[in-house]
Amino acid sequence: MMELIPILVVLMLSLVGLEAQRVTTPDGPIQGTTQTTNSGKTFYAYYSIPYAKPPTGSRRFLASEAVDPWTEVFDGTSENPNICYQLYGDYEQENEDCLHMNVFTPQDPTAPSGSLPVMVNIHGGGFVSGSGLVSTASTGGFSPNYLLEEDVIFVSFNYRLGAFGFLSTGDDVVPGNAGLTDQILALEWMQRNIAAFGGDPDRVTIFGQSAGAASVGYMLLTPKASGLFSGAILESGSSLCPWAYQRNQTKITFKTASFVDSQFDYSTDSASLLEILQQADAKAIDNAALSFASYDGGQPNAIQRSQMQQGAYYAPIIDSFSSNPVIPSFQYESFASGSINKVPILLGICSEEGLMNLDQWLDNSLEAYDENPGTLNPQDMNINNEADWNTVGRLIKQEYSPSNTFLNNRLGAIQYFTDQDFAKSITKHAELQSEHTEVFFYEFAYTGTMGGNTEHKLAGSGNVTHTEEWAYIFGGYPLQYYPKRDQLVHNRLIKIWTNFAKYRNPTPTSEELLQNIEWPRVTAANFQYVSIGNYEDSDLKIVEGKPKAARMAIWDNLYNTYGNRPYDSY
């Protein structure tokens, strides 16, 4: 009998440990696990919690539905590897049953105070790839470890992508924006349940990078997200970006369906399309979406060029035609009028976002621009006559490559991509929203090892490309692997982001780590921002005027002279 006592003690301690990691939420009990950050700080992890019913069968393509409450303990001790279907790549873990979220809290769940700020990440990936999967190991990967050091709760989740998330028949049969309804439902789940993890539902900050930032922008726009968050951080993206929106969704939907069943064309009725596609194998739809993205219509790149001028293939839309719209009004006009969810925002850009286009396909695009400068024109300018269309294309070409072809002036081409796809849209978002809420702006210009950009460099450019700042926030490797300056920039970004989550201000007090600066607010009359690092140092500098101010002024003049409102993107 005596030899059984140690075993019984171990079992009792194990049961006590399990109880200590268990939370009881309004939706149901969840079993978590205890982990530690790189510095040894304890936190509690709850993986792959379902926040919606699986969007399969009759729920495919439609607005997500809240999960039914459960009574048995949900096992959240390990991450379900399911990810939503990705447009590019073929992964074993792709599954329609993917609407899960992860919650990481530094607060002991046995004594939740409900006081911690919450940071909810909406992942990027162009609305066609990515997931909320995380790594809490110290071996790299997307990791919230360093955010958790600052006593915030971190949440990530999956949402539907590509055809599954953004097909639309242009009517109430398949209204579209299903992926956005997933995001809204995840935020509603947060409001109901986050207090059980020690979180404050009145201090929820949503944040994202690239398409994640554009998603944050759409959450600012949708009335359905009113009251679900109290602050927002947008990194290198906005719902004003031309790639973050699609104007041609109905044609794309029917053409995609034709790769599943050749009977479909633009005259097929929506109800028939939905019936067939809801019965089709998920992989067949995934393959059809890839076939559409690769389709050239008999002319190399013709369809791709045409569609990309209308926005990304599968992306959010204006669904004002719907009886229950998600995004009922044009993005630009909503930000301009203040018809938004009025919360403070922190947003910004990397110094040369367009460097990510330094790939082998670049020359084909540059040839098209050289042959027809009109292809440089933003679709959202609504230019309605050929003479103005040709004039604007010529003026853009003259600004970015006045004495040479783009093929022989890659720097001009990269600067065009930086401005057209990111800088002009994101700075305009800041300018418009500053009339209605507090807005803080940054430019990330630090070139370091941690950013991981070893290939996309070009003499004369800003040299910090799209996504580089992300590695300084979410890189999982121990800091000692990096140079001291990289470590300093990392510490500054973590402090800036978590300060904003806690206080709605990146510099609420004077802090030596942040060089005792007082971050200026953007106003329409006085655009100021903070530059984070440059070639020589890792300093924070307050700068008067917009980033790339001279080029931004040229874009504003083009829109004012040749554009026709109402605008959707910018």
Residues 547-560 have pLDDT tens digits of 999 999 999 999 99
CB neighbours of residue 506 within 10 Å: 24
pLDDT recorded at residue 415: 98
> Distance between CA atoms of 366 and 516, rounded to whole angstroms?
45
Strands (E), 487-567: 528-532, 540-544
pLDDT recorded at residue 487: 96
Question: Are 4-235 and 344-562 the same fold in CATH?
Answer: yes
Nearest to 186 by CA among 144, 132, 235: 132
Output the pTM of the full model: 0.94
Domain ranges of the chain: 4-235, 344-562
Nearest to 120 by CA among 83, 71, 157, 155: 155
CATH topology of domain 344-562: Rossmann fold (3.40.50)
Chain centre to alpha carbon of residue 195: 25
pLDDT recorded at residue 535: 64
Q: Which residue has the tokens 């992989």?
A: 283
Across all residues in the chain, what is the average pLDDT?
A: 92
Residue pair 522/529 in contact (Cβ under 8 Å)? The answer is: yes
| Per-residue pLDDT tens digits of the chain, which is 570 residues long | 555 544 433 333 344 455 669 999 999 999 999 999 988 999 999 999 999 999 999 999 999 999 999 999 999 999 999 999 999 988 999 999 999 999 999 998 877 677 999 999 999 999 999 999 987 655 456 899 999 999 999 999 999 999 999 999 999 999 999 999 999 999 999 999 999 999 999 999 999 999 999 999 999 999 999 999 999 999 999 999 999 999 999 999 999 999 999 877 766 799 999 999 999 999 999 999 999 988 755 444 444 545 555 788 999 999 999 999 999 999 999 999 999 999 999 999 999 999 999 875 688 789 889 999 999 999 999 999 999 999 999 999 999 999 999 999 999 999 999 999 999 999 999 999 999 999 999 999 999 999 988 788 898 898 999 999 999 999 888 899 999 999 999 999 999 999 999 999 999 999 999 999 999 999 989 999 999 998 667 799 999 999 999 999 999 999 999 999 999 999
Residue pair 51/101 in contact (Cβ under 8 Å)? The answer is: yes
CATH topology of domain 4-235: Rossmann fold (3.40.50)
pLDDT recorded at residue 136: 62
* Cβ neighbours for 286, distance < 8 A, ≥ 6 positions apart: 85, 86, 87, 94, 162, 163, 164
Would you state the torsion angle of the CA atoms of residues 362, 367, 368, 374, taken in this order, to the nearest 10 degrees? 110
Residue pair 326/318 in contact (Cβ under 8 Å)? The answer is: no
Planar angle of CA 382, 383, 389, nearest 5 degrees: 145
pLDDT recorded at residue 46: 98
pLDDT recorded at residue 359: 78
pLDDT recorded at residue 270: 95
- What is the CB-side half-sphere exposure of residue 449 using CA atoms within 13 A? 11
